[in-house]
A and B are shown apart, each in its own frame.
Chain A
Amino acid sequence: MEKIAIVTDSTADLPLSYYKENEVIIVPLTVRFGEEEIYRDWTEMNPEDFYQRLKTSEVLPKTSQPTTMEFMSAYKKLVEEGCSQIISVHISEKLSGTIGSATAAKEMIKGAAIEIIDSKQASAALGMIVDALVRARNEGKSFNDLANLANSLSEKVKIFFVLDTLKYLHLGGRIGKAQALVGSLLSIKPVLTLDDGVVAPYKKIRGTARIMPELISSLKESISGEKPLRLGVAYSDDKKVADLLIKEIKKENIEHVSLLEAQIGSVIGTYIGPGAVALFFYEEG
C-alpha cells in the first residue's frame, strides 16, 4: 500500500526525536534577534537557549514563516522518494503565514496529491493533531481518512493557556481578541484560548492561586467525560508549572487515555514569553 507522508511545521513543538521516530517531516519557521542573528526553530535553536536569550535580549525577537521554497523542497523530496500522498498540517492561518507558503508551494509540485490543513491551533496542540495522524496512519487509514481526521481535530482540539505577561503577545501582534486586557491597572491573569485560530480571553482571573483551579475547571466544563480523553500540557521555560498542572489533573481524577507533556519552542515562545503554561485536549469519537 502507498505510504502517506505527514508534514508539519516546527510550531508543533514536538521534540526533534519525535519526527525521526515517527517519520514526520518538519519544516521549521525561523526566529531572529535583530537583523543578523537568525535561527531555525528547534533545529538550530532549542527552547532552553531561547528563553535564556529572551530574558537577556534587549530587542524582542521576530519570527518568519518558512519560505515557499522550503516547502517546495520538502514536498519535492517526498515525491522523489516515491510518495504520492501528502498531508501537510500547520499552525493557524490567523497566527502565521506558514499555510500561505505551503499553499503556494503545493501549486508548483507535480506528482503528488497534497492536502494542506489549517489546524487552527498552535504549539503542542498542533503536535497533538500530528500525533493522532501518525496513529491513524499506523492503523492503515486512507489518505482521505487522515485528511478528514485532521480537519475534524482542528475544530475539536481546545486549548487554554495562562501567560505570565501579555507583553509578548501584544508586542508581537498576536493579542487578537484579548486586546482589551492590555493596559489594565489591576494585575489580571487571563485564561486565554484559541477561538477559530485567534487568541481570545476565556476567563479573567486575579491572583496566581486561581490559575490551576481555573485551568482545571475550564477543562471540566469543556468535556463530556464520557469519551476517551486525550490531554496535553505545555510550558515555556518553567517545567515545574507543567508538573504542578499534571499533579492537579491526577488529583482531580480526570480520566484520560494519553497525556502529552511538551516544551514550547522559540517561535511560539516569542509570543508567549517565559512562565507560560497551556492545557489542551480533545475527546475521541
Chain B
Amino acid sequence: MTSRLTSMEIPRLIEAAFANLKAHRDEINRLNVFPVPDGDTGTNMVLTMQVVCEEISKTDKTSISALMHALSYGSLMGARGNSGVILSQIIRGMSEVLSKCETITVSDLIEALENSVKVAYHAVRKPVEGTMLTVIKDMATQAKALKGQDIEIENFLEIVFMEGRASLERTPDLLPVLKEAGVVDAGALGLVVLGEGILAALKGITLEEMVTLGKAPSYVEEEVSLKYTYCTEFLLKSEGVNLTNIEEYLEPLGDSIMVVGTPQLTRVHVHTNEPGNVLNYVTSLGTISQVQINNMVEQSIERARTLAQAAKEEKISLVAVSVGEGINDILKSLGVSQIVNGGQTMNPSTSEILHAVEKASSLNVIILPNNKNVILTAEKAKEASQKNIEVVPTKSIPEAFAALLAFNPEKKLEENVEEMTEALKNVKTGEITRAVRETKSKIGLIGEGDYIGLLNHDLKIKASNLIEASQNLLSLMVSKNTVNLVTLIKGEGVTEEDIEKLTRFLKENFSDVEIEICEGKQLFYPLIISAE
C-alpha cells in the first residue's frame, strides 16, 4: 500500500504503461475511425510513448522535476497523430503540477488531472466529446469527488481508471461516427490502457490479472447484454467492508461486476435485474453516494429507434427489377438495395414490387422497372404504398446503369429523380435474342431460331447467327463522335470467342470507342449492349 510515490518509482510505472499500450496497439489501430479512419492511432500513440521512455531513461531518477520535464518534453518531441498530440498535452498538464512535488500524493494527482483537462481542452481547436478528452475529463471529475478521503494511491487510481473505462464505453453515445462503426474511441482506449498499465505495476500484478470493466473494448450495438436490465453504480463509504464478500454477494445477481477501492471507500459497478436488492444490501454495510441506475434495455431501444428513424427520414433506397444473377450483382454494386426478379418473359407483379419497397430500409424509395411493361406495375406499387416512392422510367438494364450513375445519396428525392431521368437520354440500348417462332415483321420474315437485334426495343436486325446480328446492331448503335463507350453485357448463349470477335470488330471499325465487358448472366438475351 502506498500513500506517496517517490521519484524512483516513476520510470517503472511509465514503462508499464508503455508495455500495456504496446500490447493493445493492433486493437487500437482497428478501432480507429475518428477523426480520420486510417487505422494508425495505436501506432501513433506507441511512437509518442516510445520517445517518452527514451527521454526518461536518460534522466536523473532522483528528481521528480527532472522526470516530469522528460515526460513532458519526450511526449512533445514524439507526438504523432492527433491522438499523440492530445496525449502530449494531457501529459504536459500533469507534469506542470507534479514537477513541483517532492513526492506524489493523492491530492497532487487530483490537482494534476484537473490541470491536464484544462491544458488539453485548451490546446485543441475544436474539442470533440467522445474522445480521450472526455475520458480524461471524466477521470478528473471522479478524482475530485475523492478529495479529502483517506485513500491509498492504488485504490484512488483504481477508482479513477474504472471511471475511465466506463467513460470509454460511453464514447459511442457522444460521437455518432463511433456508434455507426460500432466501436469505442481508439485514442480513448489508448489512454485507458496506459492508465491500467500504471495501475497493474503499482499493484504488483501482471496485465493479465488486471480486471477491467469492458473485456471487449469494441462496442457493438447488437451485443448490448439484455440479460440484465439495470446498470447500477455507486460509491460506498463504510467502517470497513470485505471487497470479496461484496463480489460474492453480487455474483448471483448479475454480471459485469467490479468492486474496487478500499474497505472504507469502495466503488461498485454491476449489471443486474435487482438493483433494489443490491442497494438494500450495501446500505446495510455503510452509506452510498453517486448512485446511478440506468435502464440499459430502454437506452438500447431508444438508441436503436433514434438511429433507425434518422436513417429512414434522410436516406433513399433503390429498388430495381433485374433479369440475371450477374446483373443483380452489378446493380447492387451501384447502390441498389432490393432486387425484384423479372424481365421480358416474367414480369413481376405489383405485390412483388410492393414487397421489395416495404423491405427497403428508407422511407424514400426510387424504383427502376428496367422494362417498358413494368413501368405501370411500378406506378401501381407507388399508389399502394405509404412510403414516398418515385419511379424512374427505365426500360432496360443499360438505362438502369445510367440512372444509377446519376444518383446522388446526398441530394433530395425529387432532384435525384430529375437527374436520373435526364441521364436516360444519353444511353442507347441494344438487345440480341432469338425468335421463338416464325413471324412476319416490318423487316421481313423471321424464321424460328433466327437471331434478332433490337435498338431501343425496336426490331432492326435479323440474321442467322449471333455474330452477324451483333455486328449489324453495333454498327447501327455506334456512330462516330457521339458514342465513346460500349458495354457488352454477357448473357446465356454467348461464348468467350463470340465476345473476342465482337471486341475485335469494334476496335477495327470504331477505334475511339472504349469497350467494357460484364457478366450479366441473363436468360434469353445472349447480349445486352449499352452505348453512350
A residues neighboring B (CB under 8 Å):
62, 64-65, 67-69, 72, 93-97, 99-101, 103-104, 107, 116, 118, 172-174, 177, 180, 183-188, 200-201, 204-210
Contacts and interface: CB of A to CB of B under 8 A. Distances in A.
Given A186-B518, A210-B484, A64 B81 contact: yes
Question: Can you list the 10 inter-chain pairs with the closest CB atoms, starting with the nearest?
Answer: A207-B485, A173-B38, A209-B484, A97-B82, A173-B37, A185-B333, A204-B405, A185-B330, A104-B123, A103-B125
28 contacts: A62-B38, A65-B80, A67-B84, A68-B88, A69-B77, A93-B125, A97-B85, A100-B86, A101-B85, A103-B123, A104-B79, A107-B89, A107-B122, A107-B123, A173-B36, A173-B39, A180-B409, A184-B333, A184-B334, A185-B329, A186-B333, A186-B401, A204-B405, A204-B406, A206-B516, A207-B484, A207-B485, A209-B512
B503 interface: no
Contacts of A186: 330, 333-334, 401, 487, 516, 518
Contacts of A206: 405, 485, 487, 516, 532
Given A186-B516, A206-B405, A209-B485, A67 B532 contact: no
A64 B86 CA distance: 15
Contacts of A172: 38
Contacts of A68: 76, 79, 85, 88
Interface in B204-247: none
Interface string B495-532: 00000000000000000101010100000000000001
Given A69-B79, A207-B485, A100 B38 contact: no
A174 B514 contact: no
Contacts of A95: 36
A65 B330 CA distance: 38
Contacts of B286: none
A103 B124 contact: yes
Contacts of B82: 65, 97, 100
Given A186-B334, A207-B532, A67 B78 contact: yes
A201 B36 contact: no
B79 A101 contact: yes
A118 B406 CA distance: 31
Name the prevailing secondary structure of the A interface residues. Answer: mixed
A210 B56 CA distance: 59
Given A96-B36, A101-B85, 16 more contacts: A64-B80, A64-B81, A67-B80, A68-B79, A94-B36, A103-B125, A104-B88, A173-B39, A180-B335, A180-B409, A184-B333, A184-B334, A205-B405, A207-B514, A209-B485, A210-B485
B125 A200 contact: no
Interface of B: 35-40, 44, 76-82, 84-86, 88-89, 122-125, 329-330, 333-335, 401, 405-406, 408-410, 484-485, 487, 512, 514, 516, 518, 532
A65 B78 CA distance: 12
B43 to A, nearest CB: 8
Contacts of B89: 104, 107
Contacts of B485: 206-207, 209-210
Nearest to B86: A100
A100 B80 contact: no
Contacts of B78: 67
Contacts of B37: 173
Contacts of A65: 80-82
A68 B89 CA distance: 10
A145 to B, nearest CB: 22
A172 B123 CA distance: 27
Contacts of B405: 188, 204-206
Contacts of B487: 186, 206
A200 B409 contact: no
Contacts of A103: 123-125
Given A69-B79, A209-B512, A177 B518 contact: no
Indicate the member of A174, A177, A184 with the most B CB atoms within 10 Å.
A184
A201 B408 contact: yes
A196 B426 CA distance: 31
Nearest to B84: A67
B123 A97 contact: no
Contacts of B334: 184-186
A172 B84 CA distance: 19
Indicate the member of B37, B38, B39, B89 with the most A CB atoms within 10 Å.
B38
Nearest to B401: A186
Contacts of B44: 64
A268 to B, nearest CB: 14
B248 to A, nearest CB: 47
A203 to B, nearest CB: 8
B38 A67 contact: no
B408 A69 contact: no
Contacts of B39: 173
